[in-house]
Amino acid sequence: MKQTRIIFVGGFLGAGKTTLIWNVAQRLIKRGRHVGLITNDQAPELVDTVWLQQQGLKVAEVSGSCFCCNFNGLADAIRKVGADAVADVIIAEPVGSCTDLSATILQPLKQNRKADLQVAPLSVLADPVRLISILEGETAALHIDAAYIFRKQLEESDIILITKADTLEPEAVQALIDRTSKAFPFATVLPISAATGEGVDAWLEEVMKRNEAGLRIVEVDYDIYAHGEAVLGWLNGTVQLKGDNVDWNIFTKDLLADLGNRFDSAGYGVGHVKAILESGDSFIIGNLTGKGDTLSVRGSVIPADTAKLTINARVETDKEELDAIIREALEDATHNRYESRIVAWRCLQPGRPNPTYRFAQVV
């Protein structure tokens, strides 16, 4: 029976997982490999799925709960992309606030799917700014219980990827590798930049050749874990927009900048805010991964009358406040200028994680 290699790419919200997945998928396809992707979120209308599909990639989405709480949904997604893409490699991106993947995902797959799946080492991405804060015993501008989740992700990893390495001087990169290796000596620590491609091939070689995966099961306090997720309000929405030859690039940038200002003014920590605006065959995508000055935007669309906006937000406030802030920002952005119609809108506070399986021992 053919074995498909499955690579789980975890890491806290805003670490750059989706950009890396896209980069790696392109490299594998150029090598003649068939690739399938799986995204995951607590609700549908996921920016990551929209963007990856825009790239012409085969994507299955597990929504409504994390992989660990919907193991059967993950299994269905594996079958789907395996059939659609005749996949040699599947890359799966868990929810950014999810941890305990070794016990709840990797071990069950290693035991029950060893005939058809080869599980690669668990990779966890770490934004250097947040990583430095965690190494210094701080909370990375997160609620203390959300920071607990980030640390547990690092503790259970087989490979830690220090992302955005291009934003640091070489000496600073090496110093951070040394500090991280000392704090988490069981993990391979590699620098990477999905934006420039630095380190991507080195990491890809590791996950394609190594067969040891999920070598640790960490102790997780599910009360702290549950609260760490619940301190975040989650919003996924899709809005149809209409105007007269609108510059949607300016619209998207201004909307995200306004949201960053609103969250900063209220003192709300941002896990991430993502938005993708599609117009015709083109798109613009923007991300906030903390304070307003973390805003980054790529892509562009030509002026047009209509567009579709998909927005995801993970912010440290209750769901009602998050809902109100984003609705108000949309109203201000469109008022008396553009028509807007909400197609889908879901705002929630995650419930307590309840894994389908949780193994006590490494398989």
CA–CA gap between residue 14 and residue 300 (Å, rounded)? 21
Burial pattern 205-216, b for ≥16 Cβ within 10 A else e, equals ebbbeeeebbee
Q: Is the dihedral of CA 289, 17, 49, 45 positive or negative?
A: negative
Burial class (CB in 10 A: 0-12, 13-18, 19+), 297: middle
Q: What is the pLDDT of residues 305-357, one digit of tens each?
A: 999 999 999 999 999 999 999 999 999 999 889 999 999 999 999 889 999 99
Q: Give pLDDT, residue 290.
A: 85
3-state secondary structure 54-70: HCCCEEEEEECCCCHHH
- Segments making up each domain of the chain, as ranges: 4-228, 232-348
CA–CA gap between residue 330 and residue 258 (Å, rounded)? 10
Task: Give the angle subtended at the CA of 324 by the CAs of 319 and 325, to the nearest 5°.
Answer: 100
Q: Give pLDDT, residue 47.
A: 79
CB atoms within 10 A of CB 55: 12
Token output for 199: 């380190």
Burial class (CB in 10 A: 0-12, 13-18, 19+), 30: exposed
CATH number of this structure's domain 232-348? 3.30.70
Q: What is the pLDDT of residues 240-282, one digit of tens each?
A: 999 999 999 999 999 999 999 999 999 999 989 999 999 988 9
Q: Give pLDDT, residue 58.
A: 83
Q: Give pLDDT, residue 182.
A: 97
Q: Give pLDDT, residue 143.
A: 93
Q: Give pLDDT, residue 41.
A: 78
* CB distance 289 to 333 below 8 Å: no
* CB distance 36 to 60 below 8 Å: yes
Class of domain 4-228: alpha beta
Q: Give pLDDT, residue 48.
A: 77
pLDDT less than 70: residues of the chain: 1, 43-44, 84-85
Q: Give pLDDT, residue 85.
A: 57
Quick one: which H or E segment has residue 180? helix 170-183
Q: Give pLDDT, residue 338.
A: 94
Task: Give the angle subtended at the CA of 119 by the CAs of 122 and 192, to the nearest 5°.
Answer: 35
CA–CA gap between residue 355 and residue 349 (Å, rounded)? 18
Q: Give pLDDT, residue 194.
A: 82
Q: Give pLDDT, residue 84.
A: 63
**Beta bridge pairs of residue 118:** 5
Token output for 228: 């760490």
CA–CA gap between residue 175 and residue 271 (Å, rounded)? 26
Q: Give pLDDT, residue 289.
A: 87
Q: Give pLDDT, residue 82.
A: 75
What residues contact 133, with CB distance under 8 A and at least 6 apart?
A: 139, 140, 141
Token output for 319: 């769901």
* CB distance 190 to 203 below 8 Å: yes
Task: State the alpha helices, DSSP H only, in 8-164.
Answer: 17-30, 47-54, 71-84, 101, 107-112, 128-135, 144-155
